[in-house]
Amino acid sequence: MDKVALIIVDMQEDFCPPNGSLAVTGGREIVPTINRLLSSPVFDVKVATKDWHPTDHISFAANHPDPNNRPFESFAKIVNPHNPAESYETRLWPVHCVQDTPGASLVPELDISKVDKVIEKGQDKRVEMYSAFADPFEKPRVAESALRGYLKESGVGKVYVVGLAMEYCVKATAVDALKEGFKAYIIEDATKAVDPGEGWRDAKAEMEGKGIVFVDEQSILT
């Protein structure tokens, strides 16, 4: 369990300017950094994830009946389909990363030839899945990706998480990595937040409070 993994979260057209429906400011600018990381011998295992939703996914504001729902602004209650007692409020989004659409494709500048495995997540229309490991429900869990099994089989003990978006899928993936027993790091110049101000600060404080370590490209590649 001494191998080191780089997990590149959701570097997809819909999360990047200029045309992404949920474009994160500066999202495309981190690709050169990620490509340099991909070329480094530091990482034994390199995984890219894709947000991969059906058109009727629960995270899309358009799929909620209230006509006043607005993407980015509205919240909705999501209930565990197996347990009505487990629920939480979640932010609603524009339609994004619909399976097999151009918006769901990885950005072409990403050096995919250096990626060992691409893992899709968010296919179950009933649950939001920010984490590349699993949905947020615990009693019971509803959906799990192939990520945990792949990392365990590969002998990974440490994961470095990069990509989009810092306070949503990157954070959830790093937090779940820690829960699964991996040491977890964020490479902070290889990620961008939907809200680079307060959103970034709160997410960083929360992650550091849990034991996730923030590093930068230079500290890894030198």
The residues assigned a catalytic role are: 10, 121, 169
Question: Given the DSSP bridges, would you call strands 3-9 and 45-51 parallel, antiparallel or unpaired?
Answer: parallel
Q: Residues with Cβ < 8 Å from 195, sequence gap 6 or more?
A: 167
Q: How far is CA 201 from CA 73, 166, 195, 204, 209, in A?
A: 20, 10, 9, 5, 12
Candidates 78, 165, 175, 177; binder of ligand VGL (CB under 6 A) is 165
- The sign of the CA dihedral 129, 72, 171, 17 is positive
Residues 95-134 that bind ligand VGL (CB under 6 A): 130
* By CB under 6 A, residue 52 contacts ligand VGL: no
User: CA-to-CA distance for 118 and 115, rounded, in angstroms?
Assistant: 7
Contact 93, 168 (CB under 8 A): no
Candidates 43, 52, 93, 185; binder of ligand VGL (CB under 6 A) is 93
Of 153 and 206, the one with the shorter C-beta distance to ligand VGL is: 206
Candidates 46, 48, 51, 148; binder of ligand VGL (CB under 6 A) is 51
Q: Which residues pair with 161 in a beta bridge?
A: 7, 186
Which listed option, Zn ion, ligand VGL, none, makes contact with residue 10 (CB within 5 to 8 Å by class)?
ligand VGL
* By CB under 6 A, residue 169 contacts ligand VGL: yes
Of 51 and 176, the one with the shorter C-beta distance to Zn ion is: 51
Question: Given the DSSP bridges, would you call strands 75-80 and 83-91 parallel, antiparallel or unpaired?
Answer: antiparallel
User: CA-to-CA distance for 158 and 142, rounded, in angstroms?
Assistant: 26
Of 84 and 197, the one with the shorter C-beta distance to ligand VGL is: 197
The 3-state DSSP class for residue 189 equals: strand
For the bound state, the minimum distance from the C-beta of residue 34 to ligand VGL, rounded and expressed in Å, comes to: 15
Q: How many CB atoms lie within 10 A of CB 117?
A: 15
* By CB under 5 A, residue 51 contacts Zn ion: yes
* By CB under 6 A, residue 10 contacts ligand VGL: yes
For the bound state, the minimum distance from the C-beta of residue 210 to Zn ion, rounded and expressed in Å, comes to: 23
Which of these segments, 70-78, 151-159, 164-172, 213-221, binds ligand VGL (CB under 6 A)?
164-172
Measured at CB, which residue is nearest to ligand VGL? 169
Which positions lie near ligand VGL, rule CB under 6 A?
10, 15, 51, 59, 93, 130, 164-165, 168-169
Which positions lie near Zn ion, rule CB under 5 A?
51
